[in-house]
A and B are shown apart, each in its own frame.
Chain A
Amino acid sequence: MNLQDFIAMEESRERDELIDLRSLDLVSEYDSHLMCPICHCPFVAPVRLQCDHVFCGSCLSSAINTFRSADSDEFPCPSCRNPTQKVSASVPRLLINMCDEIRVRCPLITEGCQEIIPRGHVQSHVEKYCGYRLLPCPDNSCDQMTRSKDVGMDQKCIHKARRCAHCEEDVLEHEYEEHEKELCPVLEVTCADCETVVTRRALQEHIESCPEVAIPCSASKYACPAKIRRADIAAHEQSCPIVAMGPYFEAQDARLKSLESSMRHLQQRNEIFEDGLANLRSTLVESTRLGASSHGSGQPTQSGREQQSSARVDVHTDDPADLSASVFSSNATTYLLSLHESLREEVSQLSHAITDLDARASMAIMNECMRIKEDIAHTNAAVNSVRMQVQWLMNPRLHQGTRGGAVRPNSTESEGTRTTMASSAAGPSHAAGQSLGPPSAQTPQ
């Protein structure tokens, strides 16, 4: 049949199923091949797919509803994922019989039915034979339920109260018989030890005072094995050595208890101390390790010494007895060493700073020198031009002073000087404006 028909069939069938076969309490083991892979119970109304995989009908229908994409006419088999279109209701009779054979408890075990029946018969058992099925009370005015076995032939309500003729208590009709025979407190019973006849109500009281009942010696908690009739127990306790020892035992007991509690207290304190010690030790080891790694590279002797000290700490951690002493001494050394190290670092920082300053100062001096040199050159040039001008101004006077003597050669010389002067006359302003004139070109000699 195709999927639509199958789902419709399953839905109609689910409605008339009365008993949930999956929640039954299985008594016997069953073959794992009979287990539905979806609900993990023995098959209930199994069906088969094209790939020969078998499932409960209801499990398969919910699987189809989950896996089938909307309105497609196929779905993957939940076991092998083969695409499947047809479901076959014909499963081997053998398989169904094996599932029906599995022994289960009657589901009405909650009401008291102890029957164990094959699973195939559960439905009919509950419907027809089980005496514990709850039925509405035959009396229409009573709204309680009655077990089917209690209904009986006469069809009367069992929930009416009936007064007991002996003890005047109200008892339900269906419990009356049991009450009258066994439970009524007015019934007379015989004490098992002294054979006195008492009522049920007084029995407990009687047992507590009955002289024939054997009771343990009052020192039984300190291992007196005696268990004697109540009548004779006083005599026994007078002679029992353990009873005499009783007070002493009690005192010892109390002492032990107080010792135990103080010991527990001490243990707790000890644990706290140990924790603290472990904490101290770990921080110590960590700090030495840190110190060694940060200063190790620069100072070979230093790091060697530090490694020694940390090694010493490591060695001593195994020996708690002299741990504290070594911790203190190594602590002090480490402290001094680290102080030393930090001072050394500071010194080196200072020397760095000094070199730096030195370099900067010399740089500044050099710069200053250059500028001064330039200025000097300028001044030189200016002085030169001034000298030239002075010479040029002085020249005519010198000529006047020497006229009369050697005129001829002088005139040629003054010619030459004049040309020089002319070039120099333009020169001074030039040279003063120029930053660095070639001084050799303007020096007169």
Chain B
Amino acid sequence: MGSIKRISKELTELTESPPEGITVELADESNVYEWKVIMEGPEGSPYYNGKFLVKLSLPTEYPFKPPTVSFATKIYHPNVTNDEKGSMCLGMLRADEWKPSSKIAAVLQFARQLLSEPMPDDAVEGRIAEQYKTDRGRYEEVAREWTRKHAS
């Protein structure tokens, strides 16, 4: 019960004053645990001008357990798995690093920050991370191409 109250509070805050480039709504009005987030690619990154659908699901134990973030839109990024799940690896979302005091707004902003600055050392897609480190130009080209194809 406590989780629903806190989640709806955070949802109201996020819809009333959304952070830059992030729009939030419920996937289903009757279920506060599944969120639909539209994330705009940050300026200066190869994802610029792309609109990514991000699914955020909250456990019933929230805020004691971390939420999970996954990209429903395909994205070429070292920290997002390149399968139909598109799960994102965020350090702060790991069960042993999560703090109940962290807010969803912070999670989303961190995820968007990761779009402009990928963390190749913490990657889930080793091949993309390798390319990011050795051939930045090609990486940006492919990421831009994918953004154009899948996220616009």
A contact residues vs B (CB 8 Å cutoff): 22-23, 37-41, 58-59, 62-63, 66-67, 78-79, 81
Contacts and interface: CB of A to CB of B under 8 A. Distances in A.
B58 to A, nearest CB: 14
A79 B2 contact: no
B41 interface: no
11 contacts: A23-B5, A38-B100, A38-B101, A39-B6, A40-B9, A40-B103, A41-B5, A62-B64, A78-B64, A78-B99, A78-B101
Contact of A37 (B5, B61, B101): B101
A39 B101 contact: no
B5 A38 contact: no
A430 to B, nearest CB: 79
A22 B101 CA distance: 17
Most chain A beta-carbon contacts within 10 A, residue among B9, B10, B99, B100: B100
B63 interface: yes
Interface of B: 2, 5-6, 9-10, 61, 63-65, 99-101, 103
Contact of B5 (A22, A67, A79): A22
Nearest to A80: B99
A235 B33 CA distance: 68
A378 B100 CA distance: 105
A6 B37 CA distance: 39
Contacts of A79: 99-101
Contacts of A59: 2
A39 B6 CA distance: 5
Nearest to B10: A40
Most chain A beta-carbon contacts within 10 A, residue among B2, B10, B101: B101
Nearest to A22: B5
Contacts of B5: 22-23, 39, 41
Contact of A67 (B6, B9, B64, B101): B64
Contacts of A78: 64, 99-101
Most chain A beta-carbon contacts within 10 A, residue among B10, B61, B63: B63
A37 B103 CA distance: 9
A39 B2 contact: yes
Contacts of B100: 37-38, 63, 78-79
Given A38-B6, A39-B6, A40-B6, A63 B64 contact: yes
Contacts of A58: 2
A410 B70 CA distance: 122
A107 to B, nearest CB: 14
A63 B101 CA distance: 11
A62 B2 contact: yes
Nearest to B96: A81
Nearest to A78: B100
What 9 A-B pairs come out closest when comparing CB atoms?
A: A37-B101, A66-B64, A78-B100, A38-B100, A79-B101, A40-B9, A40-B6, A39-B6, A22-B5
Contacts of B10: 40
A58 B10 CA distance: 19
B49 to A, nearest CB: 22
A380 B99 CA distance: 107
A81 B96 CA distance: 10
A67 B64 CA distance: 8
Given A39-B5, A40-B6, 19 more contacts: A23-B5, A37-B99, A38-B6, A38-B63, A38-B100, A38-B101, A39-B2, A40-B10, A40-B103, A58-B2, A59-B2, A62-B2, A63-B64, A66-B61, A66-B64, A67-B64, A78-B99, A79-B101, A81-B99
B10 to A, nearest CB: 7
B9 to A, nearest CB: 5
A188 to B, nearest CB: 50
A376 B100 CA distance: 105
Contacts of B64: 62-63, 66-67, 78
Contacts of B101: 37-38, 78-79
A109 B140 CA distance: 56
A166 B5 CA distance: 51
Nearest to A77: B99
A380 to B, nearest CB: 76
A23 B63 CA distance: 17
Nearest to B1: A20
Contacts of B103: 40
Contacts of A66: 61, 64-65
Nearest to A20: B5
Contacts of A22: 5
Nearest to B101: A37
Contacts of A40: 6, 9-10, 103
A23 B10 CA distance: 13
Contacts of B61: 66
A246 B2 CA distance: 65
Contacts of B99: 37, 78-79, 81
Nearest to A37: B101
B16 to A, nearest CB: 14
Nearest to A79: B101
A23 B2 CA distance: 10
Contacts of A41: 5, 9
B147 to A, nearest CB: 21
B5 to A, nearest CB: 6
A66 B103 CA distance: 18
A375 B99 CA distance: 100
